[in-house]
Amino acid sequence: MERSSSISNTEKTVELVRAQREGRVSSIASNADEKVVARTEHEYTDTITFRSPVMDVDSEWLSEQRVLPPGANGSMGGAYKMLRAQVLRRMEQLNANTLAVLSPTSGDGKTLTAINLAIAIAAESARTVLLVDFDLRNPGIHSRLNVQPILGVEQAIENHRPVQEAMIKIKGYDRLTILPALNRVEHSSELLSGQAVASLVAELRTRYANRILIFDLPPVLQADDALVFSKHIQAGLIVVNEGSTKREDVVKTLQLLQDTKIVGTVLNGSREKQQNYY
């Protein structure tokens, strides 16, 4: 009987979402404790969304920060779409929906790569993306986007608050949701290796079939965070800088992550006219 009831509630929710999109109802609420609502197709996260605040960001600021515009257009859009195609192909081969963006050391450009790859993937109408800032030693996604959320993911985890309260949307990026971190966490590796994070990742991985999770993690050789968190990810993308990353550091990084499926490497700072992706 409980199974039948669950199926019935799901069917009702789907019908309400359809009705809302067709304009027959203005909004819906589920019977679940999560109290989610469906919005217009220009505001949704996946199909049913929590009430994530939508923040307006100056497009000139984003351009100065080399953040792709909505739709992953612009002069750099083609390169990131090429990266998107290769990453998604490898992830599909692995049957994976979680990706960690990693680098051997700081300054290699992993955070910008994570942001722009998330934007490029979210530009596909069939997919949504949740970008999570788990670089708890030096969180930078919110500052790169010039937003100041009220709550960070680290605060939600430590204070046992629903993580959905920390999620934000950026105006114009319809299928992208950000889960930012706000403050440096001294015991970051202990937090990332704890049961609360394990449960969170498991829940996020299974909530929506069309969602890709992208995690921005601390440099592999400068903290143990990436190593302790690697058990939760199905694929990794290595970001290196042509002008500063040492070959031996790349080798050490790959050795430490030998149990993680690496789907490719991004070369930043290339002297070529366009970035090279491998």
Do 20 and 131 fall into the same domain? no
- Mean model confidence pLDDT for the chain: 83
Q: Are residues 97 and 223 in the same domain?
A: yes
Q: Does residue 46 have a pLDDT over 70?
A: no
Same structural domain, 28 and 125: no
Q: Which amino acid is at 174?
A: D
pLDDT digits (tens, 9 = 90+) for 184-222: 999 999 999 999 999 999 999 998 889 999 999 999 999
Report residue 45's pLDDT band, with 50, 70 and 90 as the boundaries: very low
pLDDT at 242: 85
Q: Report the amino acid identity of residue 274.
A: Q
105-144 pLDDT per residue, tens: 998 899 999 999 999 999 999 999 999 999 999 999 999 9
DSSP 8-state assignment for residue 269: S
* Domain CATH code at residue 136: 3.40.50.300
User: Do 13 and 71 share a structural domain?
Assistant: no
d(CA 25, CA 176): 24
The contacts of residue 145 (CB under 8 Å, 6+ apart) are 57, 62, 65, 67, 115, 170, 178
Residues 25 and 70 both lie in one domain: no
172 and 256 belong to one structural domain? yes
Structural domain contains residue 212: yes
Q: CA 256 to CA 191: how far, in whole Å?
A: 20
CA atoms within 13 A on the CB side of 206: 7
Domain extent for 33: 1-38
Instruction: Provide the number of structural domains found in the chain.
Output: 2
Q: Is residue 209 part of a domain?
A: yes
* pLDDT at residue 275, as a whole number: 46
| Cβ neighbours for 175, distance < 8 A, ≥ 6 positions apart | 44, 45, 122, 123, 124, 125, 127, 128, 129
Regarding whether 24 and 100 lie in a shared domain, the answer is no
Alpha-carbon distance 110 to 222, whole Å? Answer: 14
pLDDT in tens, 72-84: 998 889 999 999 9
Domain match, 196 and 265 both: yes
**Residue 272 predicted with pLDDT over 60:** no
Judged by phi (left if over 0) then psi (alpha if -120 to 50, else beta), residue 48 lies in beta
